[in-house]
Amino acid sequence: MATLEQVEKLRERANVSFEEAKAALDASGGDVLEALILLEKQGKVNPPSGGGYYSSKDSSEGEKGKENAYQEANGGEKRGESFGDMMRRFGRFCAGLFRKGNSNFFEAEKDGKVIVSVPVTLLVISLVFFFWVIFPLAIIGLFCGFRYHFRGHELGREAVNKVMDSASDTAESIKRSLGEKK
């Protein structure tokens, strides 16, 4: 049963009649906040400015409804994922990337013999820090008869190596065309 003090408090906040305030309090079990939300849903009270919510507890929506309301209020951001969770997920991603990079190899071969074989991780790190040295050396290597391939589960596929063979064939044809013009 709602007390007179609760009814007056709700009337001040919601600007409704005594009878409407008492009915809302009775329906909400004497909880002023829940009564205010009930009046808002009935259209008797305007929602707060800024699109906020009076309460996170809403028995008619359940947990899924609260999650959706939280996501809408926070621009679609998922609830419950802390910074630590994100860092762990990023760490697992990096570990997987590192594992794949170390199980695949970049190979340079000449006359059918493998001259150099390095993990893809090392190749990527070298390209990041020494791009202006590694890239020109790779181009010069193509014109000196080197062929490049990837070996491994993820990168050793025929499509990837076909592109590498195409680059080698293009370098050979350019070298032949330059040799014929002399």
Low-confidence ranges of the chain (pLDDT < 70): 1, 48-80, 156, 181-182
Contact 45, 21 (CB under 8 A): no
What does the pLDDT read at residue 47?
A: 73
What does the pLDDT read at residue 5?
A: 85
* CA dist., res. 97 & res. 1, Å (int): 63
What does the pLDDT read at residue 58?
A: 46
**Which one, of 147, 161, 163, 155, lies nearest residue 104 by Cα?**
155
Tokens of 68: 């959706």
Tokens of 169: 């064939």
What does the pLDDT read at residue 95?
A: 93
What does the pLDDT read at residue 71?
A: 54
What does the pLDDT read at residue 80?
A: 66
What does the pLDDT read at residue 17?
A: 86
- Please tell me the pTM assigned to this model: 0.50
**Which one, of 115, 120, 109, 126, lies nearest residue 156 by Cα?**
120
Cβ neighbors of 4 (< 8 A, separation 6 or more) are: none
The percent of residues above 90 in pLDDT, for the chain, comes to 31
